[in-house]
């Protein structure tokens, strides 16, 4: 009997130890992964943060319409989209409504909630730029952007990729190097190949080229243009198509929304690329406007000349800054401006309507345009501004 008891206790202990060991191994692996990630300059998953710093009337209301995963289990909860939300109404019109995001704000519950309840597309405001993705020549850091990809998938949102080739936010190894034309073209190829391959299947549309024109419509005198002429443009587009044939490829710029010298430069380039059969799907009009200085007629005609080439047009970085003081009257005007922009978008088949941020709490505008403020759709407390209702009215028409 004693022998049996000892035997049973041994079995129990052994079994228990094995389980503990497995759990420990899991923790060890997770810890190693986290350590490795941190060493690589990668980030923790901010989508898991539960801190609530700012609350919004709108978000609270929408929580009753959208199932929220407030249980502590890992089980996925079906996303229920309010048909009267911005994203519900836009999806019904087969349109993307998006926002640029910075995951450091995910700790604000209202930020995440507004994003997933109101938008069906997201774009990383800074994280996918070259200096962040490829800070050393042989090192790509994908982990941060991968979290955004996961968040987008979980919340059934499409993603824009911003941006592959730009003249800003480049790593020092690149800007401080001396490169021949062949070397720079192979750097373009290598970077585009790695980026587009990594995010294959996750990015709906890439800003393959960003801000490649001067205001007079000539090519920007960037390191790319000075060393390779126009060849970097074709290289980037061809390589991006090769790596992900399903991703849409865009050339994106500001001050090209109206008919003017700069948009003529863009038009002439894309017309030539289309005629030459270079892969290109559309042009991005960034749309950083002053709220009462939008030439709607010119915008509409301009869209039409690009779509006549068989290209898509997307509004990629909308914000409508208001000159201080931000009065109630100006906010109403801003709401009307957002409505008109959405009406033009719908009338002309614009496929995405993306604002450069979510709330006035986090926007590049006041830091860059001194004396201007309040450019976005949600106020500092994530309450919807007039623009939200304006866009909804346009989408319901
Ligand atoms: O992350 C660093 C931080 O570590 C450092 O302490 C801090 C000090 O200045 O800088 C932080 O980086 C800043 C970065 O935003 C992240 O916040 C950069 O200085 C700042 O220059 C950068 O600004 C971004 C800008 O692009 C830079 O090119 C803006 O947030 C971003 O909204 C803006 O976005 C551009 C689009 O990509 C292209 N179209 C125009 C649009 C607005 O300028």
Q: Choose among 188, 216, 195: nearest CA to 145.
A: 195
DSSP states of 264-331: HHHHHHHHHHHHHT----EEEE--EEETT---HHHHHHHHHHHHTTT-EEEEEEEEEEEESS--HHHH
pLDDT confidence of 68, banded at 50, 70, 90? very low
- CB atoms under 10 Å from CB of 185, counted, come to 20
Annotated catalytic, 211?
yes
| Better pLDDT: 79 or 275 | 275
Ligand 1 atom 13 nearest Cα: 126
| Better pLDDT: 42 or 188 | 188
Question: Ligand 1 in contact with 253 (CB < 6 A)?
Answer: no
Query: 143-164 burial by CB neighbour count: b if 16+ within 10 A, else e?
Result: bbbbbbbebbeebebbbbbbbb
At 275 the pLDDT is 98
Q: Give the total residue count for the chain.
A: 397
Q: What is the position in ligand 1's atom list of the atom closest to the CA of 364?
A: 32
- Predicted TM-score (pTM) of the model is 0.85
pLDDT exceeds cutoff 60 at 3:
no
pLDDT confidence of 339, banded at 50, 70, 90? very high
- Beta partners for 237? none
Given a contact cutoff of 8 angstroms between Cβ atoms, the answer to whether 353 and 366 are in contact is no
Ligand 1 site-directed mutation target among 251, 364, 372, most atoms within 8 Å of CB: 364
What confidence tens digit (pLDDT) does each residue in 142-190 have?
999 999 999 999 999 999 999 999 999 999 999 999 999 999 999 999 9
At 66 the pLDDT is 30
User: Scanning the structure block, which residue is given the tokens 């941020």?
Assistant: 357
> What is the distance in A from the centroid of ligand 1 to the CA of 168?
10
Mean pLDDT of the chain: 87
Q: Is 152 helix (H, G, I), strand (E, B) or coil?
A: helix
Mean pLDDT of 316-328: 98
At 78 the pLDDT is 76
Given a contact cutoff of 8 angstroms between Cβ atoms, the answer to whether 202 and 168 are in contact is no
Cβ-Cβ contacts under 8 Å for 21 (sequence gap 6 or more): none
Choose the catalytic residue: 108, 125, 257, 317.
317
Q: List strand residue ranges (DSSP E) for the chain, in order.
A: 96-101, 121-124, 158-165, 205-210, 248-253, 282-285, 288-290, 312-323, 352-355, 372-373
Given a contact cutoff of 8 angstroms between Cβ atoms, the answer to whether 193 and 155 are in contact is no
Mean pLDDT of 388-394: 98
Task: Quote the CA–CA distance of 227 and 250 in Å, as a whole number.
Answer: 22
pLDDT exceeds cutoff 60 at 30:
no
The one-character DSSP state at 201 is: T
Ligand 1 atom 16 nearest Cα: 126
Strands 312-323 and 372-373: antiparallel
pLDDT exceeds cutoff 90 at 90:
yes
Residue 376 sits at φ, ψ, to 5 deg, of -105, -170
At 79 the pLDDT is 85
Tokens for 124? 């990383």
Note the maximum CA span of the chain.
97
At 360 the pLDDT is 98
What number of CA atoms fall less than 13 Å from residue 295's CA on the CB side?
11
Question: Ligand 1 in contact with 41 (CB < 6 A)?
Answer: no
Ligand 1 site-directed mutation target among 102, 123, 125, 213, most atoms within 8 Å of CB: 125
At 51 the pLDDT is 45
At 44 the pLDDT is 63
Mean pLDDT of 98-122: 98
Question: How much of the chain is in helix, strand and coil states, percent to nearest 5?
Answer: 50, 15, 35
Q: What is the position in ligand 1's atom list of the atom closest to the CA of 286?
A: 39
At 47 the pLDDT is 66
Mean pLDDT of 368-397: 98
What number of CA atoms fall less than 13 Å from residue 361's CA on the CB side?
19
Q: Choose among 267, 317, 376, 377: nearest CA to 123.
A: 317
pLDDT confidence of 13, banded at 50, 70, 90? very low
Cβ-Cβ contacts under 8 Å for 193 (sequence gap 6 or more): 239, 242, 243
| Distance, C-alpha 44 to centroid of its chain | 19
Mean pLDDT of 125-154: 98
Choose the catalytic residue: 211, 257, 312, 343.
211
At 45 the pLDDT is 67
* CA geometry: angle 174, 179, 182, nearest 5 deg: 115
Mean pLDDT of 2-16: 42
What confidence tens digit (pLDDT) does each residue in 247-296 have?
999 999 999 999 999 999 999 999 999 999 999 999 999 999 999 999 99
Given a contact cutoff of 8 angstroms between Cβ atoms, the answer to whether 74 and 154 are in contact is no
Q: Choose among 287, 140, 166, 149: nearest CA to 220.
A: 166
At 98 the pLDDT is 98
Q: Choose among 307, 372, 213: nearest CA to 299.
A: 307
């Amino acid at each position: 009997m004693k022998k049996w008891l000892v035997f049973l206790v041994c079995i129990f202990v052994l079994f228990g130890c094995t389980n503990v060991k497995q759990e420990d191994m899991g923790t060890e692996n997770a810890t190693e992964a986290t350590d490795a990630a941190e060493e690589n300059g990668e980030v923790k998953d901010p989508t898991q943060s539960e801190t609530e710093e700012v609350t919004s009337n709108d978000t609270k209301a929408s929580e009753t319409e959208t199932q929220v995963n407030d249980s502590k289990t890992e089980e996925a909860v079906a996303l229920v989209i309010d048909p009267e939300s911005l994203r519900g109404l836009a999806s019904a019109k087969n349109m993307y409504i998006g926002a640029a995001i910075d995951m450091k704000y995910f700790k604000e519950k209202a930020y995440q909630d507004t994003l997933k309840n109101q938008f069906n597309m997201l774009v990383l405001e800074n994280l996918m730029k070259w200096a962040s993705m490829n800070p050393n020549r042989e090192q790509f850091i994908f982990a941060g952007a991968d979290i955004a990809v996961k968040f987008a998938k979980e919340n059934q949102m499409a993603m824009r990729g911003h941006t592959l080739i730009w003249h800003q936010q480049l790593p020092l190894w690149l800007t401080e190097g001396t490169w021949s034309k062949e070397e720079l073209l192979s750097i373009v190829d290598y970077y585009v190949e790695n980026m587009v391959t990594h995010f294959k299947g996750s990015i709906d549309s890439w800003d393959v080229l960003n801000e490649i024109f001067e205001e007079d419509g000539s090519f920007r005198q960037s390191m790319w243009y000075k060393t390779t002429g126009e060849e970097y443009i074709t290289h980037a587009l061809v390589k991006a198509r090769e790596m992900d044939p399903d991703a849409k490829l865009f050339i994106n710029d500001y001050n090209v929304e109206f008919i003017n010298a700069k948009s003529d430069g863009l038009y002439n380039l894309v017309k030539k690329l289309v005629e030459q059969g270079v892969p290109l799907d559309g042009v991005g009009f960034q749309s950083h406007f002053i709220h009462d200085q939008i030439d709607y007629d010119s915008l509409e005609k301009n869209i039409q000349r690009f779509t006549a080439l068989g290209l898509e047009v997307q509004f990629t970085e909308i914000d409508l800054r208001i000159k201080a003081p931000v009065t109630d009257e100006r906010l109403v005007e801003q709401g009307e401006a957002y409505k008109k922009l959405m009406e033009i978008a719908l009338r002309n088949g614009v496929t995405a309507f993306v604002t450069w941020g979510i709330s006035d709490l986090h926007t590049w505008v006041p830091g860059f345009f001194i004396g201007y403020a309040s450019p976005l759709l949600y106020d500092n407390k994530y309450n919807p501004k007039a623009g939200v209702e304006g866009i909804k009215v346009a989408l319901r028409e």
